[in-house]
Every structure is written in structure tokens, then in C-alpha cells.
Amino acid sequence: MKPATKRSVIVLAICAVCTLFLLVLWERGFVPLQQMEYFAQDWQTRLGRKTPVDDRLVFIGIDKPVYLSDFSDDELQSEPVLRHLQKSFPWSRAVWARLIEKLSDAGAKVIVFDLVFATPDEGDDELHQALEKYKDRVVIGYDISVGKTERGNFRELLLPNSTILATEETNSPVEDDRLGYVNIWPDFDDTLRRVSYRQTSAQVGDLVPAEVVLESLDARALRKFGRPDLIPTGFNPRLFRYTAAPGYGYKPCPIGEVLSPKLWEKNHANGKDFKDKIVLIGPTAEIFHDEHNTPFTDPKPMAGPEIHLNILNAALHGEFPIERSLLPSLFIIALSGVIAGALCFIIRQPGKRFLSVVGLSIGYAVLAQLLFDHAGRVIPVAVPFIVLIVSSLIVLAYDFVLERLERVKLRHTMGLYFSPRVLEAVLADPGS
């Protein structure tokens, strides 16, 4: 076999083996490859376009567990519920009842609590009355809890206690449109990139009858906002576009500021800031430990309520990038192997070939970012890079070894006819 033909066969074999090997690993869900792909996807999220901040969303934060001396005597007298804030959290449920009343009177369209009132507590009767009076505009949370015993894991629904929410006769309490699950499930690397707006009975471990559909806190809020059409269809998790890094999208209004008569008038124009808005209430202080890893989790994670606002904002703007299914992804990976092989044939000089691979990689990364930002499409990035670079490097190493072997062979052959001095001059300048 001629040397050129032999090289061609080996180059094709190298590119084919590398490509097929990575295709098999990707198709079988090889975890390290998936982690690399998530790493690339997170960089796209950080660098790329964000969902615009929607002013129809307002955030009220539980910013500290106790307000010791934040209110004047006049404020405490005119708004007695403030005295409950001067005790340690959890506060009397009368606080939430008064907050519902105050926001409803101000014209808030939906009031969402990222809280689960599971155990009976002081003020349950007041909260029950508020939930009944304003049932068309309030959503509270429940939790799909996972526990462990010696016999294994189990699941249960952690619902508001019956004093707060006496649900009507239905197949399951979760059918009450005032209830939505607060759970947000991360990917296997404990980073939240996708959201489930609804779950089937089977998905939650058959905790409810088979015909019952469970809806998230965010889905319930969108329904009460009059936009059920914005809830993505189906039961599969959907990738969503974030609004901003933690703390930069929706700034929380402290709950003490909202309930303070003086600050209510001064900072919120007597409630005009909340008119026709979705108002979400939830814990933001670190002491509550309601934080989750996101693609921005450097330097810090994101508070749970802020994540719910990002999820709601994505729905309001329809920002759900479409991920490629398995077959198109496999095609892109295979195509990168074909391109690697073509470069090895077209460009024989190692330096130029290396620069070409780098240039193609940068160009592909830019294309992937443009598709993510402007077309809402997600294509694999890390694995095609690996196929292109690894195939090219192996062929480069093979060409280097082949050249060294040719030089050794040439030195041996010419050494039979030339003196060492002439031989060195010829090898130094073969073209002569």
C-alpha cells in the first residue's frame, strides 16, 4: 500500500473511531459528557440574552426573622399586626391575613405565598377567613415531600392544615385552585435549569388518584392572573431562560416596609405599586435556607422565591429555549467527526490545521450562542468540540510519528551512500 493511501486509511479510522466512541457514550447518557454539556450550557446562560424584567411581578421578601425596634409607637398603634413581627419567626398567621387584605385592597391581581402552612399555629382562623374572602386572587403552597426510613424512601403531600384551608369535596385536596406545589427539581448535578409546571400522579409516586393533575405554584398564579395559555403544555420539565443573576432581577420589598403605614405611603404610594400585579411573598434571609444552585451559582445561590419569579417571568414572555432531541444531537456530533477528517486531508501542515480547528471551534461556539439568544434553540457544544479536537490531535500525533519514522528511514538509507557531514546537510534542507 502506498504511504499516502495508508495515511488516508488510518486518518479515516482515527476520526471514525473517535466519533463512534463519543456517539455511543452520548447516546447512553455518559455522566461526564453530560456534565461538560451542562457546563457549556451554563456559560451560554450567563453570557447570553436574559428574559426582560416584567414589572407585572412584585417581590415581597421575609428579609429577617424578627423586627425588634423597626416601628414607632404610632405605627404599632395604627397597625397592631406589626407587633407580631417583633416576635421570632414563624409569626402569627394573622400577619399573612392582614397582608392579603392590604394587597387586595390595593388592587393586587394575584397574591402568591411561597410558604407551606402545614402545622396549626396562632392566627389560623384569620388566615382561613382571608383565603375564603379573597379566594379568587390568592395561591399558597404545599410540598411534595420525600422522606427516608429503614425500609427505603417514601413520598407524602405536606398540605396546609385543615383549619387554614378546608377544601371542597374533590378527588384530592390539590385540586383546590388556591394550592400549588412549591417544589423545584434540579438536574442530577444539583443545578436548576428546568421547571415542571404540572405533574401526573405517577410522577409523584401515586400520592393522588390517577386522574388528578398537580399544578405548581407558578402555574396556579398564571391561571389566576388570567393567562393559563402561557403555561407550557405537557408534563416534561422545560428549560427556561433566567432573568438575571441572584439578587439582580427582582429586588425584594421587605415585609415590614409593606405593613408599615408610614413606609406604605412613602415608598409604595399607598399601594399603587401593587395594582394589577402578581405579588409573590417568600423568605429571602439566609437563616431560612431556601436557596438553590442555578447556572449563576458563583458566587452565591438563588433564593427560592426569586427562582419562582424567574419561572413566572419566563412564562409571561414565552422564554423556553428548545433543546435538541437525541437524533439531531447525534447528527451534529457525527458531522463534527466528518469535519475533523476533512481538515486532516485538506490541510497537511500541522500549524495551519491546528489554527483551523481553533477557528472552527470558536465559530461554532458563536453560532451556538446566537441560536440560544435569538432563535431559542439549544445545540450540543461540548461533545462536538471534543470530537473535533481529539480527532485532530490524534491525527496530528500520528503525522508527527509518521514524519519521525520517515526521517529515521531516510537517514538510514542515505547513510549508505553519503558521508555523515553531507547527510546532515541534506536532512537539514531536504529540498536541496
CA distance 246 to 425: 66
Q: What is the pLDDT of residue 351?
A: 78
**pTM (predicted TM-score):** 0.88
Helix (H) / strand (E) containing 148? strand 138-149
Q: What is the pLDDT of residue 397?
A: 76
**CA 46, 252, 241 angle in degrees (round to 5)?**
30
What is the residue type of 306? E
Q: What is the pLDDT of residue 326?
A: 86
CA distance 425 to 432: 9
Q: What is the pLDDT of residue 212?
A: 93
**pLDDT per residue of the chain (432 residues) written in tens, 0 to 9:** 566 677 777 778 888 888 888 888 888 888 999 999 999 999 999 999 999 999 999 999 999 999 987 888 899 999 999 999 999 999 999 999 999 999 999 999 999 999 999 999 999 999 999 999 999 999 999 999 877 666 666 788 999 998 998 766 677 899 999 999 999 999 999 999 999 999 999 999 899 999 999 999 999 999 999 999 999 999 999 999 999 999 899 999 999 999 999 999 999 989 999 999 999 999 998 888 889 999 997 668 999 999 999 999 999 999 999 998 888 988 999 998 888 888 887 887 877 888 888 899 999 999 999 999 999 999 999 999 999 888 888 887 777 776 676 666 766 666 666 667 766 666 666 555
Rg of the Cα atoms in the chain: 31
CA distances for 116 relative to 131, 161, 282, angstroms: 14, 9, 10
With b for 16 or more beta-carbon neighbours within 10 A and e for fewer, the 332-361 pattern comes to: bbbebbebbbebbeebeeeeebbebbeebb
CA distance 214 to 208: 9
CA distance 340 to 219: 46
C-alpha cell at 306: 426569586
CA distance 113 to 190: 24
**CA 193, 194, 195 angle in degrees (round to 5)?**
135
Q: What is the pLDDT of residue 152?
A: 60
Q: What is the pLDDT of residue 353?
A: 81
Selection from 212, 306, 304 nearest residue 252 by Cα: 306
Please check whether residue 292 is in contact with residue 192, taking contact to mean a CB–CB distance below 8 angstroms: yes
User: Tell me, what DSSP letter sits at residue 375?
Assistant: I
Grid cell 427516608 is found at 148
Q: What is the pLDDT of residue 236?
A: 92
CA distance 220 to 227: 10
Q: What is the pLDDT of residue 188?
A: 92
318 sits in the region (left: phi over 0; alpha: psi -120 to 50; else beta) called: left
